[in-house]
Amino acid sequence: MSDSIEKKPAKIVLRELQNKIAEEAWEAKKRGEKVGWCASNFPQEITTAMGIPVVYPENMGAAVGAKGGGQRMCEYAEGMGYSGDLCSYSRINFAYADLKKCEEMEIPFPDFLLCCNNICNCMIKWYENLALEMNIPLLLIDIPHLDERTCDEDRIRYIRAQFDDCIRQLEEITGKKMDLEKLKSVMEVSQRSSRAWLRAVGYMASTPSPFSGFDIFNNMAVANVGRGTIEAAEAFEQLADEYEALAAKGESTFKGEEKYRILFEGIACWAHLKYTYKALQTRGINLTATIYGPAFSFLYGNLDELMAAYAYVPNSNCFERELELRVNDALKNKVDGAIFHMNRSCKHWSGNLYEMERRFREQTGLPTIVFDGDQSDPRCFSEAQYETRVEALVEIMEENKKKEVKA
């Protein structure tokens, strides 16, 4: 590898990698290859190993939200008859599917759809509608929500059968064949990426954390969808190395003094990302814990474990395990408080959020706040509400610090 590439910060490498993945999908489309729209937590091992280009409407929903197009696209979908209560990623996607253009971001149109409901069931309804509107095949891998701490044998068998089914159908649709050796190597590379990702986010436990936690929201896209490639593995290893070096020196990319450390629960408010970030950063609050840290590690040794890994994605676990993941992450990364995003778009995430907040507070003794918002629809967020709650949180965290000093 040449020196000039080595010198690029991992953050840039990751961004370029994300653009490259998108670019490759466009080029494949131009070449006449079949391209898919894919749910973010669909097993990427399948498509990566088969060399099938896929793009992610959820990522587009986030990007459009962040770039200010959320309201326009959501309103368009509402004009189509979609309720304003529906997931804003899906509304943005329905609008794009109908308009076939979007100034903030575009993705190539699909020849097939890959759906997986481990993150939510609304994904299924969303993709059903797309399949009908575009008259293209829909492949679903159903991963039933866990009601016990571990993924049982019945689930693994069921997921595995769908996995095999899906490969067979994809072979038919795309004309590409699954090579099991390739799958094995993709699984290995994915492990390498996951371990590097875990090592990178693990440095959030350092004081100060070597990076601004909001960066995770940007980096996780590649962690999620591109982790089966060598480039991603190398980029995450580089990221981890960079964080390690910063942590060793006690430095950080976080601007200003890290006075408080918090857990941020939920998807970012993309449409108000800057505001929600600034309101914290100017008060010396750094995000040092989020479920996206530990949860995007897909560690497995074999195919059955791979199946189980996809049942352990955020929010697919039983509540007690979900809670434990947050509490452990918060304790390990020494947070002073937590912010819970009551995300209007996400009924799944929001349905247990109050109980999650309560139990989190009980188990950690830390102050918490809940604010109303939405992942990509800017209309469900109030700056005044957010600001007031953050201020109150700071006041409590400050009091707690004083007590600590006295003690």
Partner 1 sequence: MADVYTMGIDIGSTASKCLILKNGTDISGYAVIGAGTGTSGPKRSVEQALSNAGITINEISGITATGYGRNTFSEADWIVSELSCHAIGIHAVFPDVRTLIDIGGQDAKAIRVSTTGKLENFVMNDKCAAGTGRFLDVMARVLELDVSELAERDAMAENVVNISSTCTVFAESEVISQLSNNVNICDLVAGIHRSVAVRTAGLAKRLGIVEPVAMSGGVALNSGAARALERELGIPVRIPPLPQINGAYGAAIYAWEHRKQER
Partner 2 sequence: MNALNRLKNITMNPKAELKEAVASGKKVIGIMPYFCPEELVYAAGMLPFGLWGAEMQANESKQYYPAFICSILHTTLEMGLKGELDDLSAVMIPISCDSLKGMGANWEAGVKNVPVINVAFAENRKIAAGIEFTRSQFRKIQKQIEEIAGRTVSDDEIRKAITIYNENRCAILAFSKAAATHPAEVTAADRCAAIKAGYFMDRAAHTELLNEVTAELENLPASDEGYLKIVTTGIIADAPRLLDIIDKNKMVIVDDQIAHESVNARYVIPEAEDPVLAMAERLAEIEGCSVLYDPGKKRGTQLVEMAKNAGADGILFILTKFCDPEEYDYVPVKRMTDSASIPMLQIEIDQQMTDYGQPESAIMAFAESLR
Residues of the shown chain interacting with partner 1 in the complex, contacts defined by CB under 8 A: 71, 75, 78-81, 83-84, 372, 378-385
Measured CA to CA, the distance from residue 314 to residue 347 in angstroms comes to 14
CA dihedral 131, 110, 216, 267 (to 10 degrees): -20
Structural tokens at position 123: 């994904």
Number of residues that bind partner 2 (CB under 8 A): 51
Closest CB to partner 2 among residues 94, 277: 94
* Residue of 68, 250, 256, 351 that binds partner 2 (CB under 8 A): 351
Q: Is 120 in the site for partner 2 (CB under 8 A)?
A: yes
**From the CB of 129, what's the least distance to partner 2, in Å?**
6
Q: Helix axis angle, 88-99 relative to 70-79, nearest 10°? A: 70
Binding mask 145-164 for partner 2 (x = CB under 8 A): x-x------xx-xx--xx--
Q: Least separation, in Å, of the C-beta of 168 and partner 2? A: 11
**Which secondary-structure segment (H or E) carries 5?**
helix 3-7
User: Residue 132 binds what, of partner 2, partner 1, none (CB under 5 to 8 Å, by partner type)?
Assistant: partner 2
Show the binding pattern over residues 77-116: x = contacts partner 2 (CB under 8 A), - = does not.
Answer: ---xxxx-xxx--x---x----------------------
Pairing of strands 112-116, 138-141: parallel
| Nearest to partner 1 of 86, 394 (CB atom) | 86
Closest to partner 1 by CB, 80 vs 161, is 80
Of residues 197 and 371, the one with the C-beta less far from partner 2 = 371
> Which of 52, 268, 342, 390 is the binder for partner 2 (CB under 8 A)?
342
Q: Which range, of 23-31, 37-45, 140-148, 174-182, touches partner 2 by CB under 8 A? A: 140-148
Tell me which of partner 2, partner 1, none is bound by residue 341, counting a contact when its beta carbon lies within the kind-specific cut-off of 5 to 8 angstroms: none
CB burial of 231-241 (b: ≥16 within 10 Å; e: otherwise) equals: bbbbbbbbbbe
Residue from 44, 88, 117, 118 that binds partner 2 (CB under 8 A)? 117
Structure token digits, residue 112: 């097939």
The item of partner 2, partner 1, none sharing an interface with residue 302, based on CB under 5 to 8 Å by kind, is none
Helix axes 122-134, 88-99, angle to 10 degrees: 10
Place of tokens 């080029």: 27
CB of 137 to partner 2, least distance (A): 9
Query: Which is closer to partner 2, CB of 205 or CB of 303?
Result: 303
Does 121 engage in binding with partner 2 (CB under 8 A)?
yes
- Could you say which of 16, 24, 106, 128 contacts partner 2 (CB under 8 A)? 128
- If the CB atoms of residues 280 and 380 are measured against partner 1, the closer one turns out to be 380
122 interface partner picked from partner 1, partner 2, none, CB below 5 to 8 A per type? partner 2
* Separate counts of helices (H) and strands (E) for the chain: 18, 8
DSSP E strands, 78-132? 112-116
Task: Give whichever of 148 and 399 is closer to partner 2, judged by the CB atom.
Answer: 148
- Pick from 127, 47, 140: nearest CA to 93: 127
| Residues 302-308: contacts with CB under 8 Å, at least 24 apart | 303/160, 303/163, 304/156, 304/160, 306/43, 306/45, 306/187, 307/151, 307/155, 307/156, 307/159, 307/160, 307/163, 308/150, 308/151, 308/155, 308/156
- The correct pick among 124, 134, 173, 396 for binding partner 2 (CB under 8 A) is 124
The whole-angstrom separation of Cα 400 and Cα 405 is 9
- Rounded to 5 degrees, φ, ψ at 9 are -65, 150
Query: For the range 22-30, what are the long-range contacts, defined as Cβ-Cβ under 8 Å and sequence gap of 24 or more?
Result: 22/55, 22/107, 24/53, 25/53, 25/54, 25/55, 25/107, 25/108, 26/108, 28/53, 28/108, 29/53, 29/108, 29/109
Q: Smallest distance, Å, CB 384 to partner 1?
A: 4
List interacting residues with partner 2 (CB under 8 A). Answer: 80-83, 85-87, 90, 94, 117, 120-122, 124-126, 128-129, 131-133, 138, 140-142, 144-145, 147, 154-155, 157-158, 161-162, 165, 318-320, 342, 344, 346-348, 350-355, 358-359
